[in-house]
Amino acid sequence: MPRNLGVGLLELVLAIAIFGVIASAVASLAATGLDVSVVTTPLIRAEAYAEEAFSAVRTMQDRAWNEFTIATSGLSLVGDNWTLLGENTSEIIDEFTRRVFFSSVCRDATHEITVCPGAYTDPHAKSLTAEVSWGTGASARVVSASTLLTNW
Protein backbone atom coordinates (compact mmCIF):
# COMPACT_ATOMS: atom_id res chain seq x y z
CA MET A 1 0.00 0.00 0.00
CA PRO A 2 2.70 2.62 0.77
CA ARG A 3 4.24 1.92 -2.64
CA ASN A 4 0.99 2.73 -4.48
CA LEU A 5 0.58 5.87 -2.37
CA GLY A 6 4.06 7.00 -3.46
CA VAL A 7 3.24 6.37 -7.15
CA GLY A 8 -0.07 8.22 -6.78
CA LEU A 9 1.67 11.14 -5.08
CA LEU A 10 4.33 11.23 -7.82
CA GLU A 11 1.62 11.25 -10.51
CA LEU A 12 -0.15 14.10 -8.71
CA VAL A 13 3.03 16.18 -8.45
CA LEU A 14 3.83 15.48 -12.12
CA ALA A 15 0.28 16.48 -13.17
CA ILE A 16 0.51 19.71 -11.17
CA ALA A 17 3.89 20.51 -12.77
CA ILE A 18 2.56 19.88 -16.27
CA PHE A 19 -0.50 22.01 -15.55
CA GLY A 20 1.78 24.79 -14.25
CA VAL A 21 3.88 24.74 -17.44
CA ILE A 22 0.78 24.82 -19.67
CA ALA A 23 -0.86 27.59 -17.60
CA SER A 24 2.34 29.66 -17.78
CA ALA A 25 2.50 29.23 -21.56
CA VAL A 26 -1.14 30.25 -21.98
CA ALA A 27 -0.68 33.30 -19.73
CA SER A 28 2.44 34.31 -21.67
CA LEU A 29 0.62 34.01 -25.00
CA ALA A 30 -2.31 36.05 -23.67
CA ALA A 31 0.01 38.79 -22.42
CA THR A 32 1.85 38.87 -25.75
CA GLY A 33 -1.48 39.07 -27.55
CA LEU A 34 -2.48 42.08 -25.47
CA ASP A 35 0.88 43.77 -26.17
CA VAL A 36 0.47 43.21 -29.90
CA SER A 37 -3.09 44.54 -29.75
CA VAL A 38 -1.96 47.72 -27.99
CA VAL A 39 0.66 48.34 -30.70
CA THR A 40 -1.33 47.32 -33.79
CA THR A 41 -4.63 49.05 -33.01
CA PRO A 42 -3.18 52.59 -33.34
CA LEU A 43 -1.18 51.46 -36.36
CA ILE A 44 -4.29 50.15 -38.09
CA ARG A 45 -6.18 53.36 -37.30
CA ALA A 46 -3.28 55.49 -38.59
CA GLU A 47 -3.17 53.51 -41.84
CA ALA A 48 -6.92 53.97 -42.21
CA TYR A 49 -6.56 57.75 -41.70
CA ALA A 50 -3.84 57.84 -44.38
CA GLU A 51 -6.11 55.96 -46.81
CA GLU A 52 -8.96 58.31 -45.95
CA ALA A 53 -6.69 61.24 -46.84
CA PHE A 54 -6.10 59.72 -50.29
CA SER A 55 -9.84 59.36 -50.81
CA ALA A 56 -10.49 62.90 -49.60
CA VAL A 57 -7.89 64.40 -51.92
CA ARG A 58 -9.21 62.38 -54.86
CA THR A 59 -12.67 63.89 -54.33
CA MET A 60 -11.10 67.35 -54.32
CA GLN A 61 -9.10 66.46 -57.41
CA ASP A 62 -12.30 65.71 -59.30
CA ARG A 63 -13.78 69.02 -58.18
CA ALA A 64 -10.85 71.44 -58.54
CA TRP A 65 -7.32 70.46 -59.56
CA ASN A 66 -6.19 74.05 -59.03
CA GLU A 67 -6.59 73.66 -55.23
CA PHE A 68 -3.34 71.69 -55.11
CA THR A 69 -1.04 74.72 -55.14
CA ILE A 70 0.13 74.33 -51.54
CA ALA A 71 2.84 72.04 -50.18
CA THR A 72 1.50 70.90 -46.77
CA SER A 73 -2.01 70.95 -45.35
CA GLY A 74 -4.48 69.35 -43.04
CA LEU A 75 -7.90 68.22 -44.26
CA SER A 76 -11.39 69.19 -43.19
CA LEU A 77 -14.77 67.73 -44.04
CA VAL A 78 -17.25 70.59 -44.48
CA GLY A 79 -20.71 69.23 -45.18
CA ASP A 80 -20.12 66.66 -47.91
CA ASN A 81 -16.94 68.27 -49.25
CA TRP A 82 -13.36 67.77 -48.21
CA THR A 83 -11.22 70.91 -48.18
CA LEU A 84 -7.60 71.77 -47.48
CA LEU A 85 -7.07 73.71 -44.24
CA GLY A 86 -4.26 75.82 -45.68
CA GLU A 87 -0.49 75.98 -45.99
CA ASN A 88 1.50 74.42 -43.13
CA THR A 89 -1.56 73.17 -41.24
CA SER A 90 -2.39 69.78 -39.82
CA GLU A 91 -5.53 68.04 -38.68
CA ILE A 92 -6.01 66.50 -35.21
CA ILE A 93 -8.12 63.33 -35.04
CA ASP A 94 -8.27 61.97 -31.48
CA GLU A 95 -4.61 61.35 -30.60
CA PHE A 96 -3.49 61.40 -34.25
CA THR A 97 -2.14 64.27 -36.36
CA ARG A 98 -2.68 64.07 -40.12
CA ARG A 99 -1.04 66.11 -42.87
CA VAL A 100 -0.91 65.79 -46.63
CA PHE A 101 2.06 66.86 -48.70
CA PHE A 102 1.90 67.79 -52.38
CA SER A 103 4.98 67.88 -54.56
CA SER A 104 5.70 68.33 -58.24
CA VAL A 105 6.22 65.42 -60.57
CA CYS A 106 9.13 65.78 -62.96
CA ARG A 107 9.62 63.85 -66.18
CA ASP A 108 12.65 63.10 -68.32
CA ALA A 109 12.99 63.51 -72.09
CA THR A 110 11.18 60.18 -72.63
CA HIS A 111 8.26 61.38 -70.43
CA GLU A 112 9.10 58.94 -67.63
CA ILE A 113 8.85 60.12 -64.02
CA THR A 114 12.24 61.15 -62.70
CA VAL A 115 13.78 62.97 -59.77
CA CYS A 116 13.26 66.74 -59.90
CA PRO A 117 14.50 68.72 -61.63
CA GLY A 118 13.86 66.70 -64.76
CA ALA A 119 13.44 67.74 -68.36
CA TYR A 120 10.12 69.31 -67.34
CA THR A 121 7.54 69.47 -64.53
CA ASP A 122 4.31 67.68 -65.37
CA PRO A 123 1.45 70.19 -64.85
CA HIS A 124 -1.07 67.32 -64.82
CA ALA A 125 0.52 65.22 -62.06
CA LYS A 126 1.23 65.66 -58.36
CA SER A 127 2.83 63.40 -55.81
CA LEU A 128 0.66 63.07 -52.69
CA THR A 129 1.99 61.85 -49.36
CA ALA A 130 -0.29 61.33 -46.37
CA GLU A 131 1.40 61.32 -42.98
CA VAL A 132 -0.29 60.30 -39.75
CA SER A 133 1.60 60.58 -36.47
CA TRP A 134 0.80 59.84 -32.84
CA GLY A 135 2.55 59.56 -29.49
CA THR A 136 5.35 61.69 -28.11
CA GLY A 137 9.02 61.30 -27.29
CA ALA A 138 10.38 57.77 -27.57
CA SER A 139 6.90 56.36 -28.23
CA ALA A 140 6.21 58.67 -31.22
CA ARG A 141 5.15 56.80 -34.35
CA VAL A 142 4.48 57.89 -37.95
CA VAL A 143 2.71 56.20 -40.84
CA SER A 144 3.42 57.64 -44.25
CA ALA A 145 2.02 56.56 -47.61
CA SER A 146 2.37 58.08 -51.09
CA THR A 147 0.49 57.97 -54.35
CA LEU A 148 0.42 59.76 -57.69
CA LEU A 149 -2.45 62.08 -58.63
CA THR A 150 -3.20 62.97 -62.23
CA ASN A 151 -5.52 65.56 -63.70
CA TRP A 152 -7.27 63.27 -66.17
List the chain pLDDT tens, one digit each, 152 residues: 455 655 567 777 777 777 777 777 676 666 665 554 445 688 999 999 999 999 999 988 878 888 888 899 999 998 889 999 999 999 999 999 999 999 999 999 999 999 999 999 999 999 999 999 999 888 899 999 999 999 87
Q: What pLDDT, on a 0 to 100 scale, did the predictor assign at position 39?
A: 52
3-state secondary structure of 134: strand
DSSP for 30-92 reads HHHHHHHHHHHHHHHHHHHHHHHHHHHHHHHHHH-GGGTT-SEE-EEEETTEEEE--TT--EE
Q: What are the helix and strand counts (H, E) for the chain? A: 1, 8
Closest CA to 51 of 107, 132, 116, 140: 132
Q: What pLDDT, on a 0 to 100 scale, did the predictor assign at position 2?
A: 55
Query: Rounded distance, CA 51 to CA 99, Å?
Result: 12
